[in-house]
Amino acid sequence: MFERIKQMVIKEFIQIFRDKRMKAIVFVTPIMQLLIFGYAATTDVNNITTAVYDLDKSYESRELVRRLEASGYFKIKYNPESPNEMRYLMDKGLVITAIQINRGFSSDLKRGIRTDVQIIVDGTDSNTATVAMDYAGRVVLKYAGEVDRRIGLNHAVIDLRARAWYNPDLRSRNYNVPGVIAIVIMLTCLLLTSMAVVREREIGTMEQLMVTPLRPIELMLGKTIPFAAIGFFDVLLVTVTGVFWFDVPIKGAFYLMPLGTAIYLLSVLGIGLFISTISKTQQQAMMATFLFYIPAVLLSGFMFPIENMPLIIQYGTYINPLRYFLVIIRGIFLKGNGLDILWPQMTALLILGTTVITLSALRFKKRLG
Amino acid sequence: MSILRIRAIAKKELIQIWRDPLSLAMAFMMPVMLLFLFGYAITLDVNDLKTVVYDLDKSSLSRELVREFTESGYFTVVDYIHDNMDINRYLDSGRARVAISIPEKFSEDIRTGRNPTLQVIVDGSDSNTATIALGYISAITDAYSRRMKAGNAAPLIEPRIRVWYNPELKSRNFIIPGLIAVIMAVIAALLSSLTISREWERGTMEQLISTPVKTPELITGKLLPYFFIGFIDVAMSVLLAVFLFDVPLRGSVFLLMALSGIFLFGGLSLGILISIVAKSQLVSSQISMIVTFLPAFLLSGFMYSISNMPKPLQVMTHLIPARYFVAIIKGIFMKGSGLKLLAVETLLLSLFGILVFMIANMKFKKRIV
């Protein structure tokens, strides 16, 4: 049995890498995905393009504008001269924020009369808008506090010390890179496994395999072992790139990574095999893979926090292997979690993986028989 | 070009699509599923953050502060803790995202006019949620502070913030229009990228070669049925977005459909080009994922705003047609933009489509190698 599986694995490797481009695809694609994700998927908000419509043109108004720029979040690109021009800049999407300081701003301040600053935010991207609003409000209030003090009014009494743990600079990359490792491996393994089996069926070589003394279980192992190996290697490759290229810290014990990956791959390969049993053509396999993959990624907490989802869907995420692996991999990278904290996720993933792979194996056997 | 031969190829392709109802069903399910996920299940909006309170003061003032936090709707207190170490336990395991620690003598300090310190710890691993949470925390503390200083409730300068285009800042309103562009890119990748490589792999290309059909006729004929499917997908997505998810459509539907047609033409041509170059379905599926799906998802400005990306990547996004289509579709939906504002994007999209179609024609060799 061992010999036959070995031969099957060798055949599979020869077939995968016969096409030279597959080598590039298997090893370069994950890294490319990591690079694109690492650079592009940033939710950090800075360089908010801003227009300032200053009707007051006083020392005070310029000081406020200077502070907005000095905060590092706003980049003042335009100084429109009319409300229409401001409107055009917003409509065209050339600026995300427009600040209007009305005439009489400085004279009001000098006389201690309350005044206001108009801040207009493009809400198209609600996430950026929320952050921009918050930054602008904070800068204005801070300036207001100083003016308050200068003319002898008292200021805020509570000294707020807010700190962010685990990722003190709030770099979104630190959060995304470990997540990308998880999703890249999932897609590569799913597509390779599901399509490789269906391909034999589509080209007609499955019949040749069936006349060999290979038993279904051996055939299945021979089909999955190469992809498990590739998946493992890819995890290593992407992790090393993430750590060295993006400077993402690993705070926890590294030995937990291969352990977690192995358990995770169990589910992923199981799902890949399952897709191969329901698809007749590679087109179907590819579409089914995406039909599974997209919701799995979106409902995993990769980008969108699970707590914000409706309750029913939150329950649904319990059968998503990615959900558990993300907690594991982020826990290892960012929080330095050990098995004492991650054991529930590890156990859940192990149970899920064993179940999925057993069910798929049974179906696979039946389809062959 | 002979209309008759194009029709014949289109008909053949249509029959082939029809024969594989599973793939066809998935082509229609994909957009519906994505819209439902984004419409109902996931959101970037932050609310109900799990919070633990470590109240050493236990006074009416400290309770009032906690109430301010819970009543804002952004924070939900999951536990009151009595040990500093519990903060670590809650945050490490992810059972809480925010910890508020109110010092002893908090109320006494406020009454006697000293400035008490309020400590807030936020789980920074999800940097986006953390940034937004920090904004809410400082706004709530600030308002509370000012209220405690009787007689001087409001600051001298009031930031008047207004949000245009999406006043309720619903992430759904900006994600769903952009999503239609992503759906198109995925459909193009999944459908057209396998059509030609499948013929090569199964050996039916030889039959096609022996017919008098010319290259442009073959490509146009293969494009047409998928164009039709893609168009139905667009129409379906727009209808669902407007009627089910109440996303406001401020611009012209006609313009939207016309420009979608241009984008679809480019996307499908690209899929066919990939299919011609790759020749094997496994390779085309992987290439099309990297060339169409990922960029449309990550580099188009659909979810991650382009202005936050590093400069070289920003330049690269100009090569991605989905970028222009996302700008178009968001403009039409949210800002009611007309063709005049979108002229540049439209022109570039058309150029891209024509160029890719021509390259596909040049790359296709009608002979057996």
Secondary structure, 3-state, chain B: CCHHHHHHHHHHHHHHHHHCHHHHHHHHHHHHHHHHHHHHHCCCCCCCEEEEEEECCCCHHHHHHHHHHHHCCCEEEEEECCCHHHHHHHHHHCCCCEEEEECCCHHHHHHHCCCCEEEEEEECCCHHHHHHHHHHHHHHHHHHHHHHCCCCCCCCEEEEEEEECCCCCCHHHHHHHHHHHHHHHHHHHHHHCCHHHHHHHHCCHHHHHCCCCCHHHHHHHHHHHHHHHHHHHHHHHHHHHHHHCCCCCCCCHHHHHHHHHHHHHHHHHHHHHHHHHHCCHHHHHHHHHHHHHHHHHHCCCCCCCHHHCCHHHHHHHCCCHHHHHHHHHHHHHHHCCCCCCCHHHHHHHHHHHHHHHHHHHHHCCCCCC
Q: How far apart are the first and last CA of chain B?
A: 25
Examine residue A210 and state whether it is found in any structural domain, yes or no.
yes
What lies within 8 Å, CB to CB, of B138 at 6+ separation is A134, A138, A160, A162
B336 vs A226 pLDDT, higher one: A226
Is residue A143 located within the same domain as residue A177? no
To the nearest whole Å, the CA of B20 is away from the closest chain A CA by 8
Which member of B166, B280, B285 has the closest CB to residue A124? B166
What mean pLDDT comes out for the span B365-369? 67
Is residue A68 located within the same domain as residue A188? no
For A224-228, A245-249, B187-191, B276-280, which range has the lowest pLDDT when averaged over its residues?
Answer: B187-191
To the nearest whole Å, the CA of A47 is away from the closest chain B CA by 7
Does residue B155 surpass a pLDDT of 70?
no
What confidence category does residue B367 fall into, taking pLDDT thresholds of 50, 70 and 90? low
What is the predicted pLDDT for the residue at B256? Answer: 92
To the nearest whole Å, the CA of A357 is away from the closest chain B CA by 23
**Cross-chain Cβ contact B307/A96 below 8 Å:** yes
How confident is the prediction for chain B on average, in pLDDT?
84
Torsion sign over Cα B312, B313, B319, B324: negative
To the nearest whole Å, the CA of A124 is away from the closest chain B CA by 5
Q: Strand B98-102 to strand B49-55: parallel, antiparallel, or no bridges (unpaired)?
A: parallel
Pick the CATH number of B49-148 from 3.40.50.10470, 3.40.1710.10, 1.20.1250.20, 3.10.20.30: 3.40.1710.10
What is the predicted pLDDT for the residue at A156? Answer: 46
What lies within 8 Å, CB to CB, of B259 at 6+ separation is B325, B328, B329, B332, B342, B346, B349
Is residue A229 located within the same domain as residue A348? yes
**Cross-chain Cβ contact A295/B33 below 8 Å:** yes
A205 vs B356 pLDDT, higher one: B356
**Cross-chain Cβ contact B157/A125 below 8 Å:** no
Does residue B152 surpass a pLDDT of 70?
no
Residues of A in contact with B92 (CB under 8 A): 335, 337, 341
Percent residues over pLDDT 90 in chain B: 14
The alpha carbons of chain B give a radius of gyration, in whole angstroms, of 28
Question: A279-306 as b/e, with b when 16 or more CB fall inside 10 Å?
Answer: bebbbbbbbbbbbbbbbbbbbbbbbbbb
Examine residue A272 and state whether it is found in any structural domain, yes or no.
yes
Report the alpha-carbon distance of residue A54 to residue A68 in Å, rounded. Answer: 13
What is the predicted pLDDT for the residue at A354? Answer: 92
Does residue B153 surpass a pLDDT of 60?
no
How confident is the prediction for chain A on average, in pLDDT?
84
To the nearest whole Å, the CA of A266 is away from the closest chain B CA by 22
**Cross-chain Cβ contact B156/A136 below 8 Å:** no
> In this structure, what token pair is assigned to residue B224?
């047409």
What is the predicted pLDDT for the residue at B161? Answer: 66
**Cross-chain Cβ contact B113/A304 below 8 Å:** no
Which member of A36, A119, A126 has the closest CB to residue B298? A36
Longest dimension (CA), chain B: 96
Report the alpha-carbon distance of residue B310 to residue B308 in Å, rounded. Answer: 7
Does residue A325 surpass a pLDDT of 90?
yes
What confidence category does residue A346 fall into, taking pLDDT thresholds of 50, 70 and 90? very high
**Cross-chain Cβ contact B298/A41 below 8 Å:** yes
Which member of A115, A166, A172 has the closest CB to residue B123? A166
Among B195, B179, B187, CA closest to B278: B195
> In this structure, what token pair is assigned to residue B321?
């047609």
> In this structure, what token pair is assigned to residue A15?
């077939």
Does residue B165 surpass a pLDDT of 70?
no
Examine residue A165 and state whether it is found in any structural domain, yes or no.
no
Report the alpha-carbon distance of residue B183 to residue A249 in Å, rounded. Answer: 35
Do residues B298 and A37 touch, judged by C-beta distance below 8 A? yes
Residues of A in contact with B102 (CB under 8 A): none
Residues of B in contact with A93 (CB under 8 A): 327, 331
| Segment B180-227, tens digit of pLDDT | 888 887 777 777 888 888 888 888 888 888 888 888 888 899 889 989
Best B88, B105, B157, B274 member to test A by mutation, with max A CBs in 10 Å, is B157
The CB-side HSE value for A313 (13 A sphere, CA atoms) comes to 21
Report the alpha-carbon distance of residue A55 to residue A106 in Å, rounded. Answer: 11
The CB-side HSE value for A76 (13 A sphere, CA atoms) comes to 17
Does residue B150 surpass a pLDDT of 70?
no
To the nearest whole Å, the CA of A212 is away from the closest chain B CA by 23
Residues of B in contact with A295 (CB under 8 A): 33, 37
Find the residue in A nearest to B339 (Cα): A92
The CB-side HSE value for B349 (13 A sphere, CA atoms) comes to 25
What is the predicted pLDDT for the residue at B214? Answer: 85
Residues of A in contact with B169 (CB under 8 A): 123, 126, 129-130
Overall residue count recorded for chain B in this entry:
369
Residues of B in contact with A48 (CB under 8 A): 307
What single-letter amino acid sits at A280?
A: K
| Segment B291-333, tens digit of pLDDT | 877 788 888 887 777 777 888 888 888 888 888 998 888 888 8
Does residue B113 surpass a pLDDT of 80?
no
Examine residue A162 and state whether it is found in any structural domain, yes or no.
no
Q: Which domain range does residue A325 map to?
A: 2-41+171-368
A–B interface: beta-carbon pairs under 8 A:
352
Residues of A in contact with B61 (CB under 8 A): none
What is the predicted pLDDT for the residue at B20? Answer: 81
To the nearest whole Å, the CA of A292 is away from the closest chain B CA by 10
DSSP per-residue letters across A62-73: HHHHHHHHHTSS
**Cross-chain Cβ contact B169/A123 below 8 Å:** yes
Do residues B192 and B276 touch, judged by C-beta distance below 8 A? no
**Cross-chain Cβ contact B125/A172 below 8 Å:** no
Is residue A146 located within the same domain as residue A187? no
The CB-side HSE value for B252 (13 A sphere, CA atoms) comes to 9
Residue tagged 């859940």 (tokens): A348
Is residue A104 located within the same domain as residue A192? no
CATH (domain of A96): 3.40.1710.10
Find the residue in A nearest to B92 (Cα): A335
Residues of A in contact with B138 (CB under 8 A): 134, 138, 160, 162
| Segment A254-309, tens digit of pLDDT | 888 889 999 999 999 999 999 988 888 888 888 888 889 988 988 988 888 887 78
Q: Which residues pair with B157 in a beta bridge?
A: A115
Residue tagged 């990228």 (tokens): B193
Is residue A36 located within the same domain as residue A19? yes
**Cross-chain Cβ contact B308/A47 below 8 Å:** yes
Other beta carbons within 10 angstroms of residue A365's beta carbon come to 15
Q: Which residues pair with B53 in a beta bridge?
A: B80, B100
A89 vs A307 pLDDT, higher one: A89
To the nearest whole Å, the CA of B75 is away from the closest chain A CA by 12
To the nearest whole Å, the CA of A238 is away from the closest chain B CA by 16
Does residue B50 surpass a pLDDT of 70?
yes
Is residue A274 located within the same domain as residue A344? yes
Count Cβ atoms within 10 A of the Cβ of residue A204 and give its class: 0-12 exposed, 13-18 middle, 19 or more buried: exposed
**Cross-chain Cβ contact B281/A154 below 8 Å:** no
Is residue A353 located within the same domain as residue A224? yes
What is the predicted pLDDT for the residue at A52? Answer: 92
Kind plus residue range of the DSSP H or E element containing A162? strand A159-165
At A77, give phi and psi (nearest 5°).
Answer: -110, -25
Examine residue A160 and state whether it is found in any structural domain, yes or no.
no
Count of domains observed in chain A = 2
**Cross-chain Cβ contact A112/B156 below 8 Å:** yes
| Segment B242-272, tens digit of pLDDT | 998 888 888 899 999 999 999 999 989 998 8
For A66-75, A167-176, B56-65, which range has the lowest pLDDT when averaged over its residues?
Answer: A167-176
Report which DSSP code applies to A305: -
**Cross-chain Cβ contact A308/B159 below 8 Å:** no
**Residue extents of the structural domains in chain B:** 3-42+170-363, 49-148
What confidence category does residue B151 fall into, taking pLDDT thresholds of 50, 70 and 90? low
Residue at a domain's end among A150, A185, A208? A150
Does residue A154 surpass a pLDDT of 60?
no
> In this structure, what token pair is assigned to residue A141?
């209030």
Report the alpha-carbon distance of residue A110 to residue B151 in Å, rounded. Answer: 20
Is residue A273 located within the same domain as residue A344? yes
Torsion sign over Cα A261, A264, A268, A274: positive
The CB-side HSE value for B135 (13 A sphere, CA atoms) comes to 23
Examine residue A78 and state whether it is found in any structural domain, yes or no.
yes
Helix/strand/coil for A356: helix
What mean pLDDT comes out for the span A100-105? 88
**Cross-chain Cβ contact A123/B165 below 8 Å:** yes
Which member of A47, A203, A283 has the closest CB to residue B20? A283
Which member of A45, A294, A310 has the closest CB to residue B34? A294
To the nearest whole Å, the CA of A241 is away from the closest chain B CA by 18
Q: Strand A48-54 to strand A97-101: parallel, antiparallel, or no bridges (unpaired)?
A: parallel
Kind plus residue range of the DSSP H or E element containing A160? strand A159-165
Examine residue A197 and state whether it is found in any structural domain, yes or no.
yes
Examine residue A347 and state whether it is found in any structural domain, yes or no.
yes
What confidence category does residue B369 fall into, taking pLDDT thresholds of 50, 70 and 90? low
Report which DSSP code applies to A306: G
Among A46, A45, A76, A83, CA closest to A61: A76
The alpha carbon of residue A349 and the mean position of all alpha carbons in its chain are separated, in whole angstroms, by 20
Among B40, B263, B288, CA closest to A289: B288
ipTM of the complex as predicted: 0.76
Report the alpha-carbon distance of residue B347 to residue B334 in Å, rounded. Answer: 21
